[in-house]
Amino acid sequence: MPDTINDLLKIVKEYNNKKADLEKIKQAYEFSDMAHKGQKRKTGDSYIVHPLATAITLANMKLDAPTIIAGLLHDVPEDTNFNLIDIEKKFGGEVAGLVMGITKLSKVKYRGIERYAENLRKMFISIAEDVRVVIIKMADRLNNMQTLSALPPQKRKRISLEVLEIYAPIASRLGMGQIKGDLEDLAFPYVYPKEWKWFEKNIIPVYKEKMEEIGRIQEEIQKEFNENRVKVLSMHGRRKHYYSLYLKLLRPQYDRDITKIYDLVAIRIVVPTVSDCYKILGIIHKKWKPLPGRIKDYIAQPKPNNYQSLHTTVFSPSGKVVEFQIRTLEMHEQAEFGIAAHWHFKEGSINFFSRLPGFHPKGYNPPKKLKWIHELTEWQKYVTDSKQYLDSLKIDILKDIIFVFTPQGDVIELPEDATPVDFAYHIHTEIGNKCTASKINGQIASLDTQLKNGDMVEIMTDKSRKGPNRDWLAFVKTSSAKGKIRSFFLKKSRSQR
């Protein structure tokens, strides 16, 4: 059955039972339904089905009422006879501001490289001004992808490619793992149809078999939890997202062999407290033998991206291996919804994200997850050519990220394949300009060495050094490093005139 406004209100009521908010959401639904009256989607559905689905996605992330209302109204200014002034009169300035942001983002389409690059700049400005705008856009794009089959083949591929290259990586940067995975899985068949057919034939049947086995193991372990009187908030089978699994299978160490991957499916257990996590781990290990080297405590030692959970892989009754992931509700929501999770139960926390560094009040310190936007604005001034901007964007922002450490234990975020010189310039321009050598994990390494996740990097500098080496431009990866090196030589040539 299609979703209704009552389904939306029921989800919201579970985490926000304010009568005024629920009433306002209902009014927004009725206004949107009236505004879109007579309009149909390509699928043949009434248009209201789309904004409602968008709002339900936002409600499942437990977002605040203005965000959900904006989700219901996001297409009104562009597709109906009502405008932003009408929305502001009925629902206030905050909602109108969010809808205006989404209206701007709706123009981010591939229409030639120059215009596309400019539209992407607008997207990052929108994230900086109010990250909720992009979260709504992600929910909007997710529903569009779910109904993509109604569009012509060429358009399906173009939209799906845009999802893989732009939207999914941005969702990843915002820590929204569930949305990222769902977007990639929906785009996969349209962008790589041959690979999808191979995957569908050879891998999905293995998934189904594993998920059936997971169901039996859940029943068995639940009895143990009941006997030990440990409260479990939820327990469910979790399959690895199709597209991320496909990319993993392509790595040389796996060579498309599904039997070499242990975390194909897992049982995810959510409990109230951290101490409950360890109790659950003890019960599982008492019942089934753990696989050596596969117990990972990301609660005591979180991943550099702040991911927290206990992981263990055990031998199941049938002799096959099964992975368990154990976490609290807060850890679970952070892993699934990322930046969106910051709104849960935090009245007024929106203001925390509402300004870009450079436009913010004195002393403002943006959350770590949004500091990359500040870096983006910094290197944008060095990049004026549209193609160069897009290429840089794919390396600096949308490429897979690695986390490396300073000798003091601080975490530095860099794009994959970054070098010690990129690291040096990330710390400070002068450290980059005067670096002479590097140590990686205590060993001397050349300045063009590609860094790996978890490396500890130390930079040696020479105060008497006059500046960087022009040859570094051949191997540095970040636009920030390239820009600062070029800037040094530009200033030098001007001073010599």
- Identity of the residue numbered 236: H
Encoding tokens for residue 156?
Answer: 């399906």
User: Looking at residue 402, what is its pLDDT?
Assistant: 76
Please tell me the least confidently modeled range out of 143-157, 336-350, 453-467: 336-350
User: Looking at residue 391, what is its pLDDT?
Assistant: 61
Which has the higher per-residue pLDDT, 342 or 417? 417
Question: What are phi and psi for residue 13, nearest 5 degrees?
Answer: -60, -30
User: Looking at residue 131, what is its pLDDT?
Assistant: 77
User: Looking at residue 110, what is its pLDDT?
Assistant: 47
User: Looking at residue 371, what is its pLDDT?
Assistant: 60
User: Looking at residue 354, what is its pLDDT?
Assistant: 36
pLDDT (tens digit per residue) in 297-337 = 999 888 766 788 999 999 877 777 889 999 999 899 888 88
Give CATH for domain 5-187.
1.10.3210.10
Which has the higher per-residue pLDDT, 99 or 454? 99
Encoding tokens for residue 490?
Answer: 């530009």
Closest CA to 297 of 331, 265, 272: 331
Encoding tokens for residue 204?
Answer: 């999905």
pLDDT (tens digit per residue) in 51-82 = 999 999 999 998 989 999 999 999 999 889 99
User: Is pLDDT above 50 for 355?
Assistant: no
Beta-strand relationship, 265-271 and 321-328? parallel
Q: What CA–CA distance (Å, rounded) separates 393 from 378?
A: 13
Catalytic (active-site) positions? 78-79
- Using DSSP's 3-state secondary structure scheme, residue 112 falls into coil
Q: Compute the average pLDDT of residues 20-27.
A: 94
For a pLDDT cut of 70, what percent of the chain falls above it? 82
User: Is pLDDT above 80 for 407?
Assistant: yes
User: Is pLDDT above 80 for 113?
Assistant: no
User: Looking at residue 452, what is its pLDDT?
Assistant: 85
pLDDT (tens digit per residue) in 150-159 = 888 888 998 8
For a pLDDT cut of 90, what percent of the chain falls above it? 39
The pLDDT confidence band at residue 366, using thresholds 50, 70 and 90, is very low
CATH fold of 199-337, please?
Answer: Beta Polymerase; domain 2 (3.30.460)
Q: Is 134 left (phi over 0), alpha (psi -120 to 50) or beta?
A: alpha
Which has the higher per-residue pLDDT, 89 or 345? 89
User: Is pLDDT above 50 for 24?
Assistant: yes
- Residue 234's beta-bridge partner residues? 270
Q: Compute the average pLDDT of residues 239-266.
A: 84
This model's pTM is above 0.75: no
Q: Compute the average pLDDT of residues 188-211.
A: 90
- The conformation of residue 2, written as its DSSP 8-state character, comes to -
Which has the higher per-residue pLDDT, 348 or 274? 274
CATH fold of 375-495, please?
Answer: Ubiquitin-like (UB roll) (3.10.20)
Please tell me the least confidently modeled range out of 110-114, 279-283, 292-296, 437-441: 110-114
- Using DSSP's 3-state secondary structure scheme, residue 301 falls into coil
- Using DSSP's 3-state secondary structure scheme, residue 446 falls into coil
Mean pLDDT of all residues in the chain? 82
The pLDDT confidence band at residue 122, using thresholds 50, 70 and 90, is low
Domain ranges of the chain: 5-187, 199-337, 375-495
Q: Compute the average pLDDT of residues 36-47.
A: 89
Which has the higher per-residue pLDDT, 358 or 426? 426
